[in-house]
């Protein structure tokens, strides 16, 4: 399966962000990608009040501008599309969910994952982030099956950004059959420069999965600056593809036969005792 991660530098203009998403998803589809992943906050990065105002339902028949744009992009590119997080309306109008969605190539919603672990930190560079103040946490891991041109269904596990620091979530996904895990992200420069590659490779190695980690890059409203370096990592921990500076696409082939060989030659998943 050929997979793509898309790197964005999203701002606070939703239509402009969604137009850029569409262009890059279509470009990935033309390059042969079957599975395409978008970063966290692909549709909006800006003030929390505005984020609350654009939160929309995430359902199969939802007609909000974000879900409509995603359905059209997946359908027109003929790709499986993982997008998110995006602000999903909750029963608390002040705290939407941070949600990642999976759409199939006809645009139908297949799965929805609500971010479980929320990023509340005071970083050494003075950055203060309180995601829980404006976001409602999810509670359940999510797995879904995606098709491939080879005709073999593949189990996908869905996570978002800060989740990557909690390996127990990834163990649950692998126990449920995950062969690929998506980690759409908006890592800060402070944490990204020291932890981005280490964490993504660690989750891939210890779980013997492919990790697709599309990321935000550059400067955003509210003084935010993100690290980028969107990557695709294989089950041995090798980085198969990585985006450079700015917006763009990284492509890599996911070789599931090679994954089977890794799991057979180093069967650590069957050696678990706890």
Per-residue model confidence as pLDDT tens digits over 36-50: 999 999 999 999 889
- Rounded distance, CA 252 to CA 242, Å? 9
103 exposure class (CB count in 10 Å sphere: 0-12, 13-18, 19+): buried
Catalytic residue of the set 51, 88, 161, 229 = 161
- Is 51 in the active site? no
Specify if 68 maps to a domain.
yes
**CATH code for the domain of 199:** 3.60.110.10
Specify if 273 maps to a domain.
no
Catalytic residue of the set 115, 131, 229, 243 = 115
Q: Which residue has the tokens 């999810």?
A: 138
Beta-carbon contacts of residue 247 (< 8 Å; ≥ 6 apart): 6, 7, 8, 9, 20, 24, 217
Task: Report the relative pairing of strands 2-7 and 248-253 from DSSP bridges.
Answer: antiparallel
Specify if 129 maps to a domain.
yes
Q: What residue numbers bound the domain in which 189 lies?
A: 2-266
Reply yes or no on whether the pLDDT at 180 is more than 90: yes
Q: What is the pLDDT of residue 240?
A: 98
Q: Which residue has the tokens 């050494």?
A: 124
Q: Which residue has the tokens 């203009």?
A: 13
Q: What is the pLDDT of residue 152?
A: 84
Specify if 274 maps to a domain.
no
Reply yes or no on whether the pLDDT at 7 is more than 90: yes
- Is 268 in the active site? no
Catalytic residue of the set 34, 40, 56, 104 = 40
Contact by Cβ (8 Å): 160, 98 = yes
Contact by Cβ (8 Å): 102, 144 = yes
Residue with more model confidence, 206 or 61:
206
Specify if 272 maps to a domain.
no
Specify if 271 maps to a domain.
no
226 pLDDT tier (thresholds 50, 70, 90): very high
pLDDT tens digit sequence for 115-163: 999 988 887 777 777 888 899 999 999 999 999 777 789 999 999 999 9
- Is 243 in the active site? no
Specify if 128 maps to a domain.
yes
113 pLDDT tier (thresholds 50, 70, 90): very high
Q: What is the pLDDT of residue 214?
A: 99
Average pLDDT of the chain? 96
Mean of pLDDT values over 166-186: 98
Reply yes or no on whether the pLDDT at 101 is more than 80: yes
Q: What domain count does the chain have?
A: 1
Rounded to two decimals, the pTM is: 0.96
């Amino acid at each position: 399966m050929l997979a793509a991660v898309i790197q964005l530098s999203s701002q606070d203009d939703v239509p402009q962000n969604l137009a850029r998403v569409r262009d890059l998803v279509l470009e990935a589809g033309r390059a042969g990608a079957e599975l395409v992943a978008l970063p966290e906050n692909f549709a909006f990065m800006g003030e929390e009040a505005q984020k609350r105002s654009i939160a929309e339902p995430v359902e199969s028949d939802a007609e909000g501008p974000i879900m409509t744009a995603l359905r059209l992009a997946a359908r027109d590119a003929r790709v499986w599309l993982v997008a998110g997080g995006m602000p999903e309306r909750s029963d608390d109008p002040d705290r939407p969910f941070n949600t990642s969605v999976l759409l199939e190539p006809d645009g139908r919603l297949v799965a929805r994952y609500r971010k479980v672990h929320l990023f509340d930190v005071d970083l050494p560079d003075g950055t203060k982030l309180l995601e829980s103040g404006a976001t409602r946490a999810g509670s359940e891991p999510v797995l879904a099956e995606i098709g491939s041109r080879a005709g073999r269904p593949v189990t996908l596990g869905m996570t978002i950004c800060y989740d990557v620091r909690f390996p127990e979530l990834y163990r649950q996904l692998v126990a449920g059959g995950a062969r690929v895990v998506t980690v759409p992200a908006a890592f800060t420069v402070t944490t990204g420069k020291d932890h981005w590659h280490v964490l993504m490779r660690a989750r891939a190695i210890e779980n013997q999965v492919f990790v697709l980690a599309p990321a935000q890059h550059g400067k955003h409203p509210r003084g935010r600056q993100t690290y980028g370096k969107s990557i695709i990592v294989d089950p041995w921990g090798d980085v198969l593809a990585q985006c450079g500076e700015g917006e763009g696409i990284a492509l890599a082939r996911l070789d599931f036969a090679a994954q089977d060989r890794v799991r057979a030659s180093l069967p650590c998943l069957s050696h678990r005792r706890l």
